[in-house]
Amino acid sequence: MLGTGRMPMDELAARVGANVRFLRAGSGLSLGQLAARSGVAKSTLSQIEAGTTNPTLATLEALAGALSVDVRELLASIVADAVVTVRRGSGADVSGESSVGELMQSAMVGPSVVEFHRLRLEAGTHEASPSHGAGAREHVLVESGSLEAGPVDARVVLGAGDYASYPGDRLHRFEAVGEEAASYWIVATYPRRLGE
């Protein structure tokens, strides 16, 4: 129905499936492991992730519990493949009595590995980074200079104080643009692999 604000069921099923798949991969779980944790049959999980079935509320609650998220996160807009950019000054104000600050982004990390990197790239130089595997994501915050960053097909130019987040499961590239070096932080998250 048009004009009702309701999403067609096939679109909602596709969204839920993509979110379950993204969260499962981010948690480092196989279909079988998620089935065991949630009590939802592996064949049903496969159909949910493919977007070919509409799970019941009880199934959504079981999956949300097994993935340590709220049911709303299974229904939320898909962000796994999105490049998110927050420009300096446009984050949420988190200033205190003696400090000035802004929240650039918040994210659920779950049972992922988190790495913090502080980097400097000389003016006019660039580096490429390979995929970090399914479920990986990188968060970049530029301290100074100007940096072009992101997946090779979706890079954004960031200035001092700008933030971007993008999938780290494909080739991505960094380039210091302009006449000065770019100093920046990267926080990378990726599913914990067996043995880690």
Give me 94's structure tokens.
Answer: 């988190």
The pLDDT value given to residue 121: 87
Q: Is 15 helix (H, G, I), strand (E, B) or coil?
A: helix
Q: What is the DSSP letter of 154?
A: S
Give me 159's structure tokens.
Answer: 């200035």
What average pLDDT values come out for the chain (196 residues) when binned by 10 residues?
Answer: 55 85 75 91 91 91 85 72 67 66 58 78 87 82 92 89 87 90 87 53
Domain range for 144: 92-191
Look at residue 85 and tell me if it is in a domain.
no
The pLDDT value given to residue 148: 93
> Facing residues of 163 across strands?
86, 141
The pLDDT value given to residue 84: 64
pTM: 0.55
Give me 18's structure tokens.
Answer: 């993509």
- Considering the domain architecture, whether residues 102 and 70 belong to the same structural domain is answered as no
The pLDDT value given to residue 44: 93
- Residue 89 gets the label, from left (phi > 0), alpha (psi -120 to 50) or beta, of left
Residue 161 one-letter amino acid: G
- Considering the domain architecture, whether residues 100 and 40 belong to the same structural domain is answered as no
- Considering the domain architecture, whether residues 133 and 183 belong to the same structural domain is answered as yes
- Considering the domain architecture, whether residues 40 and 97 belong to the same structural domain is answered as no
For CA atoms 122, 127, 133, 139, the dihedral sign is: positive
